[in-house]
């Protein structure tokens, strides 16, 4: 079999086992991302596409793995608890797989394969979305409970797990996809999907977020959708719109936001969790107490993790909490839900700045692919993931798949469409 064709099949299985959970959760051996297709792809790449290991984004991901996961985690940061060590390893594992897949596609100019796999990935996400709706109809809290000990309290959890509902990472990927869908919606020509199908798809994904009842994702998705609709053809103009709107929103009285959150929450009386979340946010806006012992709201309790993590960070600002036998283990454990702040407290300035630098190197080649207009929407996708990391944990395979594989693949659908259009025009002129 030609290596290009073999790559296509392996990449297909990588994406299927990472995104189509109804298969992954029921066919444990042949549909294992972690133990079969990911290591198989790494070996295949090393044998047949060894040149991509010299790409700057691949080197950055490997440096992250060698330094942070293999060396510093067992030397300088040896005091990190097992949960952090496991999560950091999983983060690197997902990163290196999809950075390598991006590099192989990009280095070899496999645009057609890339766009085809992006379409399949969207199909897998749709199926997982449907299964999420089915699972949440049976138990509305199944998604929220799946990433904590709460799953032990969910009746028939094994059955619901086999249905293949979307994870927290899946919900993060949905939010990152919204700007790109709005981009295609605003295109004059039928580049990918028709306008009606795109609108239905956006509403379908938004509905999934509500069914999963993850409040932070709903808030960020709403903001990202609004900014996406404001986007213009020129990047500078789009950024200018956002700055003006952000300034205007900062001048609005807090009572306006609190009242609107209550009004929205009152529309979700059939979903007690969402009803309480919106009203809880309204109460927190009116009384933003950051002390966990004094606040009476869930939003205040979550926000109180910031001062707790800041105290942890200030105790060892340079090398981080994991570098010594810290008295702040509880603060760091509960603060693990805040992705960026917990990493800053864990690694200190030294580790966190290095991590940001490596992430920048990972995503730099992606930004260079796009034209100026599409790049704005990709910035919104990146921004949504960063914003969610300020509110919750964003670790998982799906954000890397969305940002490194699916969105660039969708871009090449557009490029191929315009290439065909230009080719037709050229042939017409010749005739």
Burial class from Cβ neighbours inside 10 Å (0-12, 13-18, 19+) for residue 223 reads: middle
What is the 8-class DSSP label of residue 76?
Answer: T
pLDDT higher than 50, residue 431 = no
Residue 277's pLDDT is 72
Task: Average the pLDDT over 287-310 and give the result.
Answer: 71
pLDDT higher than 50, residue 193 = yes
Range in 42-56, 115-129, 194-208, 410-424 with the lowest mean pLDDT: 410-424
Residue 149's pLDDT is 63
- Work out the percent of the chain whose per-residue pLDDT is above 70: 86
Among 32-36, 151-155, 225-229, 246-250, top mean pLDDT goes to 32-36
d(CA 134, CA 125): 14
| Digit-coded pLDDT (tens) for 203-212 | 999 999 989 8
3-state class (DSSP) for residue 201: helix
pTM score of the predicted model: 0.89
Residue 156's pLDDT is 86
pLDDT higher than 90, residue 9 = yes
Residue 337's pLDDT is 84
Residue 289's pLDDT is 58
d(CA 28, CA 20): 13
pLDDT higher than 50, residue 427 = no
d(CA 399, CA 381): 10
d(CA 323, CA 317): 10
Residue 300's pLDDT is 66
d(CA 403, CA 256): 35
Task: Average the pLDDT over 387-395 and give the result.
Answer: 90
Residue 235's pLDDT is 64
Residue 49's pLDDT is 96
Residue 418's pLDDT is 58
Task: Average the pLDDT over 404-408 and give the result.
Answer: 97
**Ranges of each domain in the chain:** 3-244+317-430, 252-303
- Work out the percent of the chain whose per-residue pLDDT is above 90: 61
Q: 336: pLDDT confidence band, cut at 50, 70 and 90?
A: confident
Residues in Cβ contact with 162 at an 8 Å cutoff, skipping those fewer than 6 apart: 22, 25, 26
pLDDT higher than 80, residue 185 = yes
Mean pLDDT, the chain, whole residue set: 87
Task: Average the pLDDT over 88-106 and give the result.
Answer: 97
- Cα first-last separation, the chain: 41
> Exposure string (b/e) for 294-310, b if CB count within 10 Å is 16 or more?
ebebebbbbbbbeebbe
| Digit-coded pLDDT (tens) for 26-46 | 998 899 999 999 999 999 999
User: Tokens standing for 400?
Assistant: 């890397």
């Amino acid at each position: 079999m030609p290596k290009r064709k073999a790559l296509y099949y392996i990449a297909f299985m990588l994406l299927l086992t990472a995104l189509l959970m109804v298969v992954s959760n029921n066919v444990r051996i042949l549909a294992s991302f972690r133990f079969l297709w990911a290591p198989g792809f790494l070996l295949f790449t090393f044998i047949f596409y060894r040149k991509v290991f010299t790409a700057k984004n691949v080197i950055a991901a490997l440096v992250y793995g060698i330094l942070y996961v293999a060396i510093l985690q067992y030397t300088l940061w040896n005091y990190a608890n097992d949960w952090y060590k496991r999560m950091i390893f999983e983060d690197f594992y997902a990163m290196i797989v999809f950075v390598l897949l991006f590099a192989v596609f990009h280095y070899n100019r496999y645009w057609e394969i890339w766009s085809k796999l992006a379409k399949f990935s969207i199909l897998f996400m749709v199926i997982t979305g449907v299964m999420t709706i089915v699972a949440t109809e049976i138990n509305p809290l199944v998604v929220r409970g799946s990433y904590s000990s709460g799953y032990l309290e969910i009746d028939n959890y094994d059955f619901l797990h086999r249905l293949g509902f979307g994870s927290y990472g899946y919900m993060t990927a949905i939010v990152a996809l919204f700007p790109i869908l709005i981009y295609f919606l605003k295109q004059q020509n039928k580049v990918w999907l028709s306008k009606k199908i795109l609108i239905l798809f956006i509403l379908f994904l938004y509905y999934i977020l509500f069914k999963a009842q993850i409040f932070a994702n709903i808030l960020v998705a709403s903001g990202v959708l609004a900014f996406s609709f404001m986007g213009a053809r020129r990047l500078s103009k789009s950024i200018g719109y956002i700055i003006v709107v952000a300034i205007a929103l900062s001048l609005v009285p807090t009572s306006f936001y609190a009242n609107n959150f209550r009004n929205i929450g009152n529309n979700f009386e059939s979903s007690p969790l969402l009803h309480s979340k919106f009203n809880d946010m309204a109460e927190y806006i009116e009384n933003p107490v950051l002390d966990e012992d004094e606040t009476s709201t869930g939003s205040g309790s979550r926000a109180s993790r910031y001062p707790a993590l800041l105290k942890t960070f200030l105790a060892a600002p340079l090398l981080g909490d994991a570098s010594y036998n810290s008295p702040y283990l509880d603060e760091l454990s509960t603060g693990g839900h805040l992705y960026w702040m917990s990493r800053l407290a864990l690694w200190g300035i030294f580790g966190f700045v290095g991590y940001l630098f490596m992430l920048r190197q990972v995503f730099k080649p992606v930004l260079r692919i796009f034209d100026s207009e599409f790049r704005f929407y990709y910035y919104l996708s990146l921004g949504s993931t960063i914003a969610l990391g300020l509110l919750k944990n964003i670790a998982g395979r799906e954000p890397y798949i969305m940002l490194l594989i699916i969105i660039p693949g969708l871009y090449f659908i557009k490029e191929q469409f315009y290439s065909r259009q230009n080719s037709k025009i050229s042939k017409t002129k010749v005739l």
